[in-house]
Structure 1
Amino acid sequence: MGLCEQLDNDKPGKMITKNAYRGSTIDELHFLDGKFTYHGSLNFTAQEIKPSLELSMWRHETIFYPACIKTLNNYLKKRGTQVNRKVKPRVRLIQNTNSDSGGFRVSCLATGFYPRHINLTLFRDGQPVSDHEITGGDLLPNGDGTYQMRKSLEISADKHTYSCSATHLSLDNKLHVTLEYDHGEPFRSVIPSVLTVLALMMVFGAAAAITAWKRRSADSFRSGYSTPSTSEETVETKQ
């Protein structure tokens, strides 16, 4: 395996090559600024390996390193906008019920970020939670080319304070979030019933208001109407 890097100032960086045999690395060579560093696990003396190492160094300096840097630069010209883009993560810390254990789970979720490297840390009362207590942490791709990561912690009904922080290349400073509560499916199932009751109350309230208005209108109409007297009828007859 061989790889090389391009630094931020467009200066070529280190090249590393590794050789493996039966699943184990047998030697590793680093090349940077004309200097070589060799690490090997085979039981060869320096004198025995010197001819092979000199040939390998010559190949790196004259063939492998220039070819790797050239290939990398051509790739960056074509895909530089995508490779160098930075998208901020959306980070949430939520607590919900764990249906398996009957307890609670605190989860720190970061999604929609690019590039893929991110550091998520869960805190309990301001102190980082030990890695052996945390589950998850796998980097997963989103459909739009960004990434997501979730870290979770099983908790009991205690009074600890939980928070989460995220460090990413797109962020100028560390992003710190506090706990949000997700009441889960039982709470969500109650919402339609509550909305239905509220709607019925509004309907009955409106009907009662209309009935009361009609009654007031009828009473007002009856109080404002009077039957003509007998004398008035006699006068009208004479005329």
Structure 2
Amino acid sequence: MFVVQLMFVSLFVHQVMSSGSGRHSLWAFATYISGTTPFPEFSAVLMLDDVQVGYFDSKIDRLVRVGGQGVEGAELNLGQEAVFILRDIFSSMRKRLEMVKHRFNMTTAGVHVQQRMTGCEVLEDGQPALIMFRDGSNGQDADSLMYNMTHFTYAGGDGWEIQWSAVKRMHFQMLYSNIYLPFCARALNHLLDREKNLVRRRVRPRVRFITKQVVGGARVTCLATDFYPRHINLTLLRDSTPVDEDELTGGSVLPNGNGLYQVRKSLMVSDEELQRKHNYTCVTSHLSLDNRLEVSWRAEFSRSHRIYIISAPAGLTLAAVLLMVLLWWRRRSEGVAMETQEQQERLSVNKETDSESAGLHLSRFVPDSRGQC
């Protein structure tokens, strides 16, 4: 029931993950579906920074607690105003999808999806920074609105823009600045106070180099793992000079499966580069660190860095030679074993013969009953 639905588009996730480390955010990921599906018509997931804290859908019609502190499924105590706002989002998204379907002649039966990311950010001192929404229709970017206390901007996607009159623009600016932003900031600060042990924690990254032999050289990977929050700066140096990002692969911050994060950057180092014996340094900057964390690795060229590929004919020849050697060794071992067994049998026969001879010689000197030999 509380699983984040598959329909969230990547642009939403990218936007929420790009928030600065000196801010905290509260976002509602909302989905409206028209058509027959096993999902609720409307659902919304509430995220405090990158932690899911609440859930709402049109079937249960209430905001319940998910994750964090407290009882799972209990009422999320943000007041009835939060439910009214979610219902209003439900209504506006339904109207927006109908407008989009009419404008672009989406009259065919089937499933159509309207998505929205809406929420706010506050600074570390709790002051509101901005509030925004961003809409998508059937997986494509539609339009967005942002109000950051001094500027109010509206942008439409390519070919998806819906013209706003000056009156409508003023109406939304007053709505967002006087109602939505103050409420969102209050809710965010309340949740931050309740979940401070979770979202305000600082977990130091563990950084190390991983090297793997490959054809023609080696792959060098700088890995930082088990850190929180997710904002991190990872730089790979070659002899104190930053490696060009075009030479690197990776770099995306990924969840670690335990509430923490990981990131890696990899570099292919050729045999020629290994011969130069460069010094590589992984430099990490993170909120949990007072200073930069540096881990170094020096390239050492040796035969162990090379991987030779044997051709098929050469491989068959080598296998045949090994088989002949194995057969020869087996026959030699069997011959030695048979020779040893024959020697042991001859030795046993000789011992028995010597015993019998000794018995005959002794019997000549045994006295008879009369005491005569």
How far apart in 2 are the matches of 1:35 and 1:129? Answer: 39
| Correspondence for 1:66 | 182
Query: Mean Cα displacement is larger for which, 16-25 or 103-112?
Result: 16-25
| Offset at residue 43 of structure 1 (A) | 6.5
| Offset at residue 180 of structure 1 (A) | 6.7
Residues 40-51 of structure 1: pairs in structure 2 closer than 5 A: 40=156, 49-51=165-167
How far apart in 1 are the matches of 2:218 and 2:231? Answer: 28
Of 146, 149, 159, which aligns to 2:263?
149
| Correspondence for 1:16 | 132
Residues 14-163 of structure 1: pairs in structure 2 closer than 5 A: 14-33=130-149, 35-40=151-156, 49-98=165-214, 101=215, 103-157=217-271, 158=274, 159=276, 160-163=278-281
Of 169, 175, 200, which aligns to 2:287?
169
How far apart in 1 are the matches of 2:217 and 2:210? Answer: 14
TM norm structure 1: 0.65
Distance 1:143 1:25, change over 3 A: closer
Q: Helix, strand or coil for the counterpart of 2:204?
A: coil
Amino acid at match of 1:152: S
Distance 1:120 1:129, change over 3 A: same
Percent identity for Structure 1 against Structure 2? 42
How far apart in 1 are the matches of 2:260 and 2:298? Answer: 24
| Offset at residue 13 of structure 1 (A) | 1.5
Q: Helix, strand or coil for the counterpart of 2:192?
A: helix
Q: Does 1:7 align with 2:102?
A: no
Distance 1:37 1:138, change over 3 A: closer
| Offset at residue 82 of structure 1 (A) | 0.9
| Offset at residue 132 of structure 1 (A) | 2.2
| Correspondence for 1:222 | none
TM norm structure 2: 0.43
How far apart in 2 are the matches of 1:179 and 1:117? Answer: 25
Distance 1:83 1:76, change over 3 A: same
Amino acid at match of 2:267: L
Amino acid at match of 1:61: S
Amino acid at match of 1:170: S
| Offset at residue 4 of structure 1 (A) | 0.6
| Correspondence for 2:314 | none
- Structure having the larger proportion of residues in strand: 1
| Offset at residue 20 of structure 1 (A) | 3.4
Unaligned runs of 5+ in 2: 1-116, 305-373
| Correspondence for 1:207 | none
Distance 1:5 1:132, change over 3 A: same
Q: Helix, strand or coil for the counterpart of 1:154?
A: strand
Q: Helix, strand or coil for the counterpart of 2:186?
A: helix
Q: Helix, strand or coil for the counterpart of 1:9?
A: coil
Distance 1:10 1:44, change over 3 A: closer
| Correspondence for 1:179 | 297
- Give the conservation status (yes or no) of the 8 Å contact 1:136–1:151: yes
| Correspondence for 1:212 | none
Distance 1:55 1:172, change over 3 A: same
- Give the conservation status (yes or no) of the 8 Å contact 1:94–1:181: no
- Give the conservation status (yes or no) of the 8 Å contact 1:94–1:179: no
| Offset at residue 10 of structure 1 (A) | 1.7
The C-alpha deviation readout for 1:197-234, integer Å capped at 9, x for no partner, is xxxxxxxxxxxxxxxxxxxxxxxxxxxxxxxxxxxxxx
Distance 1:44 1:151, change over 3 A: closer
Larger relative contact order (CA 8 Å, sep ≥ 6): 1
- Give the conservation status (yes or no) of the 8 Å contact 1:34–1:61: no
